């Protein structure tokens, strides 16, 4: 079963989750959600998702992203997505997620936007 | 007391079957003509109908068709008998030829030569005059043979003696003709009486059973007759070209004997083989006859019949064989001729009558297990590769949405039912969920997007009602909506889907599709529907209750009211409903 690789690093108050692999139904989507939940449990509230290594996301992958966003928001946190590939960007725009989750072309831009937030 | 009742209940079907067999056996003198008449009625019925279509009243049509058919049978019978007599008279001329070939075949063994000699001696004795026999006996010192005085017989006595033998088949033929005529003329009345007998409350099932039986038996008899005519024509042409005498006769014999399952063609072939053996000097002609029959039968049985009948008669090969034995034991050679059409009738009866369903299971050639059960059974056996093969094989030539609707969703429901009843252990449950997850992802990704897909504006949130099975179903749902151009999101299971949808800024023209796999599908769907309505957003809600059971319209209406949602049971319906919702919104 397809899984997704994730790696967390910190930049000031912002936690960055870099993903590698396709965000699809099953272990990949579940693994992604677990990684975000672990970050929330660790007390991280400003999270940037680096999607540079995510070439594709299906409807279940987008669903996992939506639920993660909702959980972060419910915990009083903020989420931003950086370096999205065009295919994934199109999906996020079509599903209206870009209306609630900001997208940035680069990781530093995303970090900056969250650093300045209260 | 209870035990006695139980044993009585279990013995009832056996007693019933025993009584039925006894009736079939002891009433065979009446039932055989009736069965033949039924067969002829199925064969001639369409022709009578056609004549009626040409404004010829039914009674003259039926009489005309029956008269023509009887005349044809009589002519063919007359010619066949005449030819047989001719062959029987000419065969002795070829006796030496046959003996030579048989001896050569046996390698000229002493035992076989002795056997031939014994047969010849026996023939001489039988043909010798009685006086010689008595003299021989006396000469051999044997006891004198008892002498019986035979009175000279007048014409009336001869008629009485031989008339009985002749009248019996003629009487049967007459009975068949009368029954057939009655069935052709009064078929609606007969059908109505049968419907009444089987109960008016099962009118729909009975009507369907009779239509189905009529269609399948008619089709079988007509097709079989047409195929046999083709077979006979090829045999006639082949034998004629080979130079076998009486080729037309063997062609006609082949047509009729081929009605006998399995043994008919070999019997039909054995007769011209013997004739070829008799008239030819070498082995070329007899062997060519065998090859002609074998090749023609193989081609017709394996290529022509499946093409014409679809899946033959709807009977399994074993059922045809067993029924041939059963009817032959019961009714003799005539039973063999009637075995297949009679078994088709029984199979059809079993298909539409719940109490007799076992007949269709035992006799029919339809898969006993449904596609979804086979697929689920492979998953239960923890054989992922085989399950995938089953899915690919059964789903071949079908749209993916049909495969998911008819195989994967019912399998998910079976897994859920077994899990809830404690029949599925954690290991198997996890294996099944993971495997189906994998199949769905793989098949969905492999499905090409439609070329004419246009982007749609209506967002669809696919929300699982309770657990992992609902989650997979929601993902399937989202896939087909995406294929149609809808921006669809398949959520994982969450505590508050209402809150989630609210966070994502849902609007009134968005659609929420709740995905709920049975059991407890409606209860879980109701809870989610309420959660969404309580969250303050008011999208259109569709509840997908993935049950294969055909719920009554009244129940669907009750569910629609209690869920405050459009209720659907298949993925195809979801797509259709979302399309309708979009049109309404526009």
Q: Spelled out in words, what is the top-level CATH class assigned to the domain B371-445?
A: mainly alpha
B489–A62 CB contact, under 8 Å = yes
The better pLDDT of the pair A75, B162 is held by A75
In this prediction, residues A78-98 reach a mean pLDDT of: 93
Residues of A in contact with B440 (CB under 8 A): 25
B487–A33 CB contact, under 8 Å = no
pLDDT, one tens digit per residue, over B458-503 is 899 999 998 889 999 999 999 999 988 899 999 999 888 888 998 8
Please tell me the distance in Å from A92's CA to the nearest CA on chain B. 9
The better pLDDT of the pair B529, B100 is held by B529
φ/ψ of A47, rounded to 5, equals -125, 130
Please tell me the distance in Å from A72's CA to the nearest CA on chain B. 11
Structure tokens at B154: 């007048």
Residue A97 touches partner B, C-beta closer than 8 Å: yes
Residues of B in contact with A59 (CB under 8 A): 462, 475, 478-479, 481-482, 488-490
Residue in chain B lying closest to A101 (CA): B504
Q: Binning pLDDT at 50, 70 and 90, where does residue B519 land?
A: confident
Residues of A in contact with B437 (CB under 8 A): 1, 25-26
φ/ψ of B473, rounded to 5, equals -65, -40
The better pLDDT of the pair B111, A108 is held by A108
Residue A26 touches partner B, C-beta closer than 8 Å: yes
pLDDT, one tens digit per residue, over B304-325 is 876 666 544 567 777 777 888 8
A30–B492 CB contact, under 8 Å = yes
Residues of B in contact with A26 (CB under 8 A): 434, 437-438, 441
Residue in chain A lying closest to B498 (CA): A70
Residue A34 touches partner B, C-beta closer than 8 Å: no
Residue burial B176-197, b: 16+ Cβ < 10 Å; e: rest:
bbebbbebbbebeeeeeeebee
Q: Is the pLDDT reported for residue B9 higher than 60?
A: no
Q: Binning pLDDT at 50, 70 and 90, where does residue B148 land?
A: low
B487–A100 CB contact, under 8 Å = no
Q: Binning pLDDT at 50, 70 and 90, where does residue B586 land?
A: low
Q: Binning pLDDT at 50, 70 and 90, where does residue A84 land?
A: very high
% of residues, chain B, pLDDT over 90: 15
The better pLDDT of the pair B530, B104 is held by B530
Length, in residues, of chain B: 586
The better pLDDT of the pair B303, B287 is held by B287
B494–A66 CB contact, under 8 Å = no
Rounded CA-CA distance A67/B461 in Å is 12
Q: Is the pLDDT reported for residue A69 higher than 90?
A: yes
The pLDDT score that the predictor gives to residue B314 is: 66
Centroid of chain to Cα B357: 14
The pLDDT score that the predictor gives to residue B143 is: 58
pLDDT, one tens digit per residue, over A40-50 is 999 999 999 99
The pLDDT score that the predictor gives to residue B163 is: 61
Residue A25 touches partner B, C-beta closer than 8 Å: yes
| In the block, residue with structure tokens 């049109």 | B583
Q: Is the pLDDT reported for residue B135 higher than 50?
A: no
The pLDDT score that the predictor gives to residue B202 is: 60
The better pLDDT of the pair B106, B224 is held by B224
Largest CA distance in chain B: 124
pLDDT, one tens digit per residue, over B20-45 is 888 888 888 888 888 888 888 888 88
Say which DSSP state B301 is in.
Answer: I
Residue A62 touches partner B, C-beta closer than 8 Å: yes
Q: Binning pLDDT at 50, 70 and 90, where does residue B355 land?
A: low
The pLDDT score that the predictor gives to residue B2 is: 47
Q: Please, what are the domains in chain A?
A: 5-112 (3.30.750.24)
Closest CA to B279 of B515, B23, B101: B101
The pLDDT score that the predictor gives to residue B471 is: 92
Residue A33 touches partner B, C-beta closer than 8 Å: yes
> What count of other Cβ atoms lies within 10 Å of the Cβ of residue B442?
14
B487–A26 CB contact, under 8 Å = no
The pLDDT score that the predictor gives to residue B311 is: 47
Picking from A59, A73, A96 by the largest number of B CB atoms within 10 A of its own CB, the best residue to mutate is A59
The pLDDT score that the predictor gives to residue A1 is: 62
The pLDDT score that the predictor gives to residue B203 is: 60
Q: Is the pLDDT reported for residue B179 higher than 50?
A: yes
Q: Is the CB of residue B381 less than 8 Å from the CB of residue B374?
A: no
The pLDDT score that the predictor gives to residue B194 is: 67
Residues of A in contact with B446 (CB under 8 A): none
φ/ψ of B5, rounded to 5, equals -60, -40
pLDDT, one tens digit per residue, over A100-110 is 999 999 999 99
Question: Which of A60-69, B195-204, B543-552 has the lowest average pLDDT?
Answer: B195-204
Please tell me the distance in Å from B193's CA to the nearest CA on chain A. 59
The pLDDT score that the predictor gives to residue B40 is: 85
Nearest to B505 among A26, A94, A96 (CB): A96
The better pLDDT of the pair B521, A69 is held by A69
Q: Is the pLDDT reported for residue B370 higher than 90?
A: no
Q: Is the pLDDT reported for residue B195 higher than 70?
A: no
Q: Binning pLDDT at 50, 70 and 90, where does residue B145 land?
A: low
Residues of B in contact with A60 (CB under 8 A): 471, 474-475, 478, 490, 492
Residues of B in contact with A64 (CB under 8 A): 492
**SS3 state of residue A49:** strand
Residue A2 touches partner B, C-beta closer than 8 Å: yes
CB pairs under 8 A between A and B: 85
Q: ipTM value of the model?
A: 0.92
Average pLDDT, chain B: 79
In this prediction, residues B70-74 reach a mean pLDDT of: 88
Length, in residues, of chain A: 118
pLDDT, one tens digit per residue, over B409-444 is 999 998 888 888 888 888 888 889 889 988 988 888
The pLDDT score that the predictor gives to residue B358 is: 77
Please tell me the distance in Å from A97's CA to the nearest CA on chain B. 7
Question: Which of A37-51, B142-156, B205-219, B511-525 has the lowest average pLDDT?
Answer: B142-156
Q: Binning pLDDT at 50, 70 and 90, where does residue B208 land?
A: low
pLDDT, one tens digit per residue, over B389-413 is 888 887 778 889 999 998 999 999 9
Domains in chain B: boundaries: 30-116+164-191, 205-363, 371-445, 454-585
Q: Is the CB of residue A43 less than 8 Å from the CB of residue A15?
A: no
The pLDDT score that the predictor gives to residue B134 is: 47
B492–A63 CB contact, under 8 Å = yes
A66–B462 CB contact, under 8 Å = no
Chain B residues within 8 angstroms (CB to CB) of chain A: 434, 437-438, 440-441, 444-445, 455, 459, 462, 471-472, 474-475, 478-479, 481-482, 487-492, 494, 499-500, 503-505
Structure tokens at B251: 């062609």
The pLDDT score that the predictor gives to residue B261 is: 72
The pLDDT score that the predictor gives to residue B422 is: 84
Q: Binning pLDDT at 50, 70 and 90, where does residue B131 land?
A: very low
The pLDDT score that the predictor gives to residue A46 is: 94
Angle at B184 between CA B198 and CA B169, to 5 degrees: 100
In this prediction, residues B508-527 reach a mean pLDDT of: 86
Long-range contacts of the stretch B396-402 (C-beta < 8 A, 24+): B400/B443, B400/B444, B400/B447, B400/B480, B401/B480, B401/B571, B401/B572, B401/B575, B402/B572
The better pLDDT of the pair B158, A98 is held by A98
> Based on the number of CB atoms within 10 Å of its own CB, is A4 exposed (0-12), middle (13-18) or buried (19 or more)?
buried
B505–A100 CB contact, under 8 Å = yes
The pLDDT score that the predictor gives to residue B67 is: 92
CATH homologous superfamily of B454-585 equals Cobalamin-binding domain (3.40.50.280)
Q: Binning pLDDT at 50, 70 and 90, where does residue B130 land?
A: very low
A63–B482 CB contact, under 8 Å = no
Q: Is the CB of residue B504 less than 8 Å from the CB of residue A66?
A: yes
The better pLDDT of the pair B205, B484 is held by B484
């Amino acid at each position: 079963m397809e899984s997704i690789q994730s790696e967390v690093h910190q930049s000031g108050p912002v936690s960055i989750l870099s993903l590698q692999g396709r965000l699809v139904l099953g272990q990949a989507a579940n693994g992604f959600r677990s990684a975000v939940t672990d970050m929330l449990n660790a007390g991280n509230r400003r999270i940037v998702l680096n999607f540079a290594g995510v070439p594709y996301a299906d409807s279940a992958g987008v669903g996992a992203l939506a639920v993660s966003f909702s959980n972060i928001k419910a915990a009083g946190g903020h989420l931003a997505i950086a370096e999205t590939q065009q295919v994934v960007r199109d999906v996020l725009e079509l599903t209206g997620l870009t209306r609630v989750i900001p997208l940035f072309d680069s990781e530093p831009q995303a970090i900056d936007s969250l650093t300045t937030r209260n | 007391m209870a035990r006695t009742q139980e044993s009585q209940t279990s013995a009832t079907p056996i007693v019933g079957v025993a009584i039925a067999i006894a009736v079939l056996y002891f009433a065979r003198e009446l039932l055989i003509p009736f069965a033949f008449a039924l067969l002829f009625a199925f064969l001639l019925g369409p022709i009578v109908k056609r004549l009626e279509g040409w404004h010829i009243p039914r009674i003259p049509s039926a009489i005309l068709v029956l008269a023509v058919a009887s005349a044809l049978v009589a002519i063919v019978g007359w010619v066949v008998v005449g030819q047989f007599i001719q062959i029987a008279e000419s065969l002795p001329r070829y006796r030496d030829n046959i003996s030579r070939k048989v001896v050569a075949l046996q390698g000229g063994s002493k035992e076989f030569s002795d056997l031939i000699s014994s047969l010849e001696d026996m023939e001489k004795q039988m043909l010798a005059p009685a006086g010689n026999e008595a003299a021989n006996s006396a000469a051999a010192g044997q006891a004198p043979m008892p002498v019986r005085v035979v009175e000279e017989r007048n014409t009336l006595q001869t008629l009485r003696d031989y008339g009985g033998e002749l009248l019996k088949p003629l009487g049967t033929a007459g009975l068949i003709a009368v029954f057939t005529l009655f069935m052709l003329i009064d078929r609606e009345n007969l059908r109505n009486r049968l419907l009444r007998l089987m109960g008016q409350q099962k009118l729909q099932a009975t009507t369907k059973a009779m239509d189905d039986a009529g269609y399948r038996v008619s089709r079988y008899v007509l097709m079989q007759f047409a195929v046999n005519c083709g077979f006979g024509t090829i045999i006639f042409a082949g034998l004629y070209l080979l130079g076998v005498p009486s080729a037309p006769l063997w062609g006609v014999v082949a047509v009729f004997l081929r009605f006998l399952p399995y043994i008919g063609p070999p019997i039909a072939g054995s007769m011209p083989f013997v004739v070829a053996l008799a008239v030819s000097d070498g082995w070329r002609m007899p062997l060519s006859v065998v090859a002609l029959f074998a090749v023609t039968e193989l081609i017709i049985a394996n290529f022509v019949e499946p093409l014409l009948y679809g899946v033959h008669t709807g009977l399994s090969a074993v059922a045809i064989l067993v029924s041939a034995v059963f009817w032959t034991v019961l009714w003799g050679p005539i039973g063999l001729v009637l075995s297949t059409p009679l078994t088709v009738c029984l199979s059809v009866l079993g298909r539409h009558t719940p109490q007799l369903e076992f007949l269709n299971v035992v006799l029919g050639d339809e898969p006993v297990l449904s596609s979804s059960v086979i697929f689920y059974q492979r998953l239960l056996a923890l054989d992922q590769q085989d399950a995938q093969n089953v899915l690919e094989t059964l789903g071949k030539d079908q749209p993916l949405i049909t495969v998911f609707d008819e195989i994967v969703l019912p399998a998910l429901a079976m897994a859920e039912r077994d899990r809830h009843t404690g029949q599925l252990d954690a290991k198997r449950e996890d294996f099944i969920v993971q495997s189906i997850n994998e199949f769905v992802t793989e098949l969905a990704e492999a499905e090409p997007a439609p070329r004419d897909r246009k982007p749609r504006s209506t967002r669809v949130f696919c929300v699982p009602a309770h657990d992992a099975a609902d989650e997979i179903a929601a993902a399937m749902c989202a896939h087909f909506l995406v294929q149609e151009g809808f921006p669809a999101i398949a959520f994982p299971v969450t505590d508050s889907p209402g809150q989630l949808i609210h966070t994502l800024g849902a609007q009134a023209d968005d659609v929420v599709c709740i995905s709920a796999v049975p059991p407890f599908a409606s209860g879980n769907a109701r809870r989610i529907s309420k959660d969404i309505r309580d969250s303050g957003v008011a999208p259109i809600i569709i509840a997908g209750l993935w049950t294969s059971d055909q719920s009554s319209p009244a129940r669907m209406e009750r569910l629609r009211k209690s869920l405050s949602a459009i209720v659907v049971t298949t993925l195809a319906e979801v797509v259709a409903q979302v399309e309708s919702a979009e049109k309404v919104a526009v």
